Structure 1
Amino acid sequence: MFDIVGIGECVVDMTPAGESERGNALFERHPGGAPSNMLACAAKQGLKTALISIVGDDSFGHYLVGVLKDVNIDVRAVHFSENLPTFVALVDYDDRGDRRFFKMQLESSLSGFSPNHLDKELISQAKLVHIAGSMLAWPDSLEAIRQAIDFVHEEGKLVSCDVNWREMLYDQEYAQTIAKPILYEMDILKMSEEEMSLYTGTSDLVEGTKILCEAGVKLAAVTLGARGCYYRYKNGSGRLYTYDTKVVDTNASGDTFTAVMLAGLAEYSYDIDSISNDIMYHIMERANAGGAVCAAKRGAIYAVPSVEEIDNCMKTVPLLKLD
């Protein structure tokens, strides 16, 4: 059995790496992709993980599969596209270390992901299936996600999702008309404050998470950046501050939050309704700490923290109390 099987992207992030002698910007190749980052962190928390994805049959694609193996993610269901290249994203940062993504290709291997790439035998071995919100961007991958959700629910298991909305992939109208109904089918939904506003029509954390839970979401977790997080589920809700680490790169910080949250839920067999609010609060504390530790490092997959690093953060780093 696998603790988590993820469905989504493994990509190359080209991140700033200084300047050449001529003053031209240099970019460094980093492995990334939200579900890949998340699964790498979950593996570091002791969970058994696998990824269902597609990359190009090119040097970048083979490099990424090697990285996935290196961070203990099962790659039996990572396919190679003969016709489309590996997805490459250009990443830039603002003065606060927050990311901006730019798409470099009109088409990539991800747009070729289809129901034929779903490994239902592998999905049947999962205790939880995690969906990358980016996979809602293309018609074939959208249909694959619909089928995956139906299959998992037929087996009586839960589906989680990190929305990870990127305007470079689909616009707000598409988000609200096409993506929203699918997101409301998720059992565990992690999103940013901006995404909550987009998909619920309100920026109020209490009202927004109520809308999600009334729609059928079992656990809604909203990350607030430097202001921490807010969550809601059947047995309660909570607003937590995060930890005051020195932020250098927020890439994979949200993915780490998701991984540590899911690792905490895995200790209770993902039986969300049986978890007391005190325990859920502690799970979210660890998730905040994980995200904070990750934000203090550069990179993505290789920046995700270990159990020991998260423990040390919670013991030694003060809370950042921003409202």
Structure 2
Amino acid sequence: MKEVITLGEILVEIMAKKTNQLFIEAGEFLGPYPSGAPAIFINQVAKMKVPASIIGSVGDDDFGKVCLKRLIDNGVNTSLIGVNSELPTGTAFVRYQSNGSRDFIFNIRHSASAAFELTDIAKERLSTCAVLHVMGSSIFSHDVIHMMRAAIEIVKNNGGKISFDPNVRKELLGDSALFAFFKEVLAKTDIFLPSGEELFALTNKQILEDAVESALELGVSEIVLKQGSDGCAFYSHNDYFFMPSFSVEEIDATGAGDTFGATYIACRELGYSPEKSLGLANASGAMAVSHWGPMEGASSEEELNKFIDTFTESLEEI
């Protein structure tokens, strides 16, 4: 089986312990947790037993070791991850508000997280991969834009697919050119994994049907519209269906969307139908929000099927 590859930030996340905790005063924090949206994604792909690699970089420090150990333990091929002896591993501090929103303080641009390169070996691997997953949070500099553009060209020229999760973070949208690049990526995308607002923004449409049609006309073959606890919807040229979510107690939503997308992409590479793929993806999202920490709820296919069976049995008993 060909591998799924992504590229971008690998970092640790330090999380505020209490809701509405402020960054401008002393407080309790938990971590470090291995994190970074593309790292969360590729970690879950590997948990699904699909060959998985990430092009990235960590510092030669304990934070870097934490990240590498987690990825290796879960089966990610880490040979495309550089270890930088001069820059520290990237960090993200996150606090939670009572309305469910989150605020981040990132150190990505000036850390090892931003020091990855598209080496000759990485280019060779991209030329034979099944899917390149583009994570919007990784588009944090013009250097990354150039690398991402080159990576997409290599994959498309060799018959691979592009999956794209805009994953827009307001802290990373200070440069309008970065958002403009998202539209360029969308025109090369095969599998699109947006939220509702991202779908509208990237298609310049305000009505759902128009936005979906616009994306499909660009060449997108599958759209998975993420709606959090409200479930998700699938659109293609010939099909549409809605998939409800699993109702669970939310402990931490960080990384749930990345985990969801990874499970869907992995399942499609395993040859599963969109319906089965989304069922497992919804289960993985539920497992993710049920654990504290971005990667702590990563689950194997066996664990996801067990969760679905248990959830179904509990409903039948009501």
TM-score by length of 1: 0.86
Aligned counterparts, 1:266-277, within 5 A? 266-268=269-271
Counterpart position of 2:17? 17
Instruction: Give the one of 185, 191, 202 matched to 2:194.
Output: 191
Counterpart position of 1:222? 225
Distance in structure 1 (CA, Å) of the matches to 2:175 and 2:210: 20
Report the CA distance between 1:313 and its aligned residue.
3.1
Distance in structure 2 (CA, Å) of the matches to 1:93 and 1:203: 29
Gaps of 5+ in 2: none
Structure 1, residues 42-66: CA drift from partner, whole Å, max 9, x if none?
Answer: 2222212111111223332233222
Q: 2:303 aligned with 1:309, yes or no?
A: yes
Q: 1:99 to 1:263 in 2, by over 3 A?
A: same
2:67 counterpart SS class: helix
Instruction: Give the one of 203, 208, 214 matched to 1:205.
Output: 208
Q: 1:94 to 1:267 in 2, by over 3 A?
A: same
Report the CA distance between 1:86 and its aligned residue.
1.8
2:293 counterpart SS class: coil
Q: 1:203 to 1:261 in 2, by over 3 A?
A: farther
Counterpart position of 2:42? 39
TM-score by length of 2: 0.87
Structure 1, residues 102-121: CA drift from partner, whole Å, max 9, x if none?
Answer: 22466222333344477122
Structure 1, residues 244-274: CA drift from partner, whole Å, max 9, x if none?
Answer: 1111111121112112211221123xxxxxx
Q: 1:226 to 1:118 in 2, by over 3 A?
A: farther
Q: 1:183 to 1:63 in 2, by over 3 A?
A: same
> Contact conserved, 2:11 with 2:113, CA < 8 A, in 1?
no
1:247 counterpart SS class: coil
Instruction: Give the one of 63, 68, 80 matched to 1:65.
Output: 68
Q: 2:172 aligned with 1:169, yes or no?
A: yes
Aligned counterparts, 1:76-87, within 5 A? 76-87=79-90
Distance in structure 2 (CA, Å) of the matches to 1:23 and 1:178: 38
Report the CA distance between 1:176 and its aligned residue.
4.1
> Contact conserved, 1:115 with 1:143, CA < 8 A, in 2?
no
1:131 counterpart SS class: strand
Which is further off, 50-59 or 311-320? 311-320
Report the CA distance between 1:172 and its aligned residue.
7.6
Structure with greater strand share of residues: 1
Q: Percent identity?
A: 26
Instruction: Give the one of 287, 296, 305 matched to 2:281.
Output: 287
> Contact conserved, 1:190 with 1:221, CA < 8 A, in 2?
yes
2:151 counterpart SS class: helix
Counterpart position of 2:148? 145
> Contact conserved, 1:196 with 1:203, CA < 8 A, in 2?
no
Counterpart position of 1:251? 254
Amino acid at match of 2:7: I
Structure 1, residues 164-187: CA drift from partner, whole Å, max 9, x if none?
Answer: 111212248345423321233121
Amino acid at match of 1:178: F
Counterpart position of 1:108? 111
Counterpart position of 1:95? 98
Report the CA distance between 1:290 and its aligned residue.
1.4
Counterpart position of 2:290? 296
> Contact conserved, 1:209 with 1:231, CA < 8 A, in 2?
no
Distance in structure 1 (CA, Å) of the matches to 2:46 and 2:106: 28
Report the CA distance between 1:30 and its aligned residue.
0.5
Amino acid at match of 1:62: K
Distance in structure 2 (CA, Å) of the matches to 1:237 and 1:16: 39
> Contact conserved, 1:191 with 1:222, CA < 8 A, in 2?
yes
